[in-house]
Amino acid sequence: MKKIVGIFIVIFFLAINLYANKTINLLIGEWAPYTSKTEIKGKIAEVIVSEAFKLEDVEVKYEYYPWRRSYQSAKAGFGTGTFPWYYSEQRNKDFIVTKEPLLKVKNVFFHLKSLDFQWENYEDLKKYSNGGIMGYTSTSLLQSKGVDVQLVPRAELNFKKILNHRIDITPYGVEVGYYLINKIFSKEERALFTHHPKALLDSKMYMLISRAIPNAQKLADTFDQGLRKLKKSGRYDQIIQNHLKY
């Protein structure tokens, strides 16, 4: 009997430490200041993920591709997972979505300080020329509400259009928006921008773990556990504050 109990204990601890001292590969794209292959200060989410997994003795390697390729490749099992993504029913079918939010992203409208921009509802937005990004959730939302949106492939193009008075407003994440503004404009030009405090979207983003890999649910649980530890320690907030110094 003692021998049987001993075997079960060994199996239990092996299950708990299934990914301990293992290295996993996560597929991501360029989205500074959260993920970036080249920007040192553009890796907030990567640092959070690395440290959360490290608390559970799991090492992480990153591979950078266009976002669509990262998603599809991870889904097929060529990567352990991908992040950060908003929750959707389709993504929940394609992946195991971790329970603990990786990031909270507030999407707001950026504009020039010289523009008297106010909005309470979608009808108000129709008074202004809007710039959106192809394939973005914010773009789809505005279009579904009957708001006309001028599309571009990259966010920085919308900020340049605002500066040149070709559009009035563009929705984007607060942190990402100011990161781009400070990266692409001079000090004098940066001072011309502001944002409206009302959120168009205020959503959480998550880690997606591939259902095609062995013991996927266990790895998702492992990440959730490490991320909760990171948040509880205060280190999570410290990482964000250290990287978001404009």
AA letter at 78 = F
Identify the CA nearest to 100 among candidates 213, 25, 204, 240: 204
- The partner residues of 35 in beta bridges, in order of sequence, read 31
pLDDT confidence tier of residue 6, bands split at 50, 70 and 90:
very low
pLDDT confidence tier of residue 145, bands split at 50, 70 and 90:
very high
- pLDDT over 80 (residue 17): no
Look at residue 225 and tell me if it is in a domain. Answer: yes
Quickly list H helices, the chain. 2-16, 44-54, 67-75, 89-94, 122-125, 137-144, 155-163, 174-184, 187-190, 216-233, 235-243
Look at residue 195 and tell me if it is in a domain. Answer: yes
| One domain for residues 72 and 114 | no
AA letter at 126 = K
Please tell me the predicted confidence (pLDDT) of residue 15: 42
Please tell me the predicted confidence (pLDDT) of residue 245: 56
Output the six-digit token pair for 194: 């502001």
Output the six-digit token pair for 109: 């409208």
Write down the mean pLDDT value for the chain: 91
CATH of the domain at 145: 3.40.190.10
Please tell me the predicted confidence (pLDDT) of residue 243: 73
Q: Which of 117-126, 129-138, 193-202 has the lowest mean pLDDT?
A: 129-138
| One domain for residues 209 and 230 | yes
Q: Which domain holds residue 187?
A: 104-202
Look at residue 208 and tell me if it is in a domain. Answer: yes
| pLDDT tens sequence across 19-40 | 556 899 999 999 989 999 998 8
Look at residue 37 and tell me if it is in a domain. Answer: yes
| One domain for residues 186 and 129 | yes
| pLDDT tens sequence across 154-200 | 999 999 999 999 999 999 999 899 999 999 999 999 999 999 999 99
Please tell me the predicted confidence (pLDDT) of residue 62: 98
Please tell me the predicted confidence (pLDDT) of residue 34: 94
Identify the CA nearest to 33 among candidates 178, 227, 234: 178
Question: Cβ contacts of residue 230 below 8 Å, gap of 6+?
Answer: 48, 51, 52, 55, 236
169 within 8 A of 117, measured Cβ to Cβ: yes
| One domain for residues 111 and 64 | no
- Percent of the chain having pLDDT more than 90? 81
- The 3-class SS string of 172-186 reads EEHHHHHHHHHHHCC
AA letter at 61 = K
pLDDT confidence tier of residue 41, bands split at 50, 70 and 90:
confident
Look at residue 8 and tell me if it is in a domain. Answer: no
| pLDDT tens sequence across 64-91 | 999 999 999 999 999 999 999 989 899 9
Please tell me the predicted confidence (pLDDT) of residue 61: 98
Look at residue 7 and tell me if it is in a domain. Answer: no
Q: Which of 39-43, 47-51, 144-148, 232-236 has the lowest mean pLDDT?
A: 39-43
Please tell me the predicted confidence (pLDDT) of residue 20: 53
- pLDDT over 70 (residue 13): no
Q: How many domains does the chain have?
A: 2
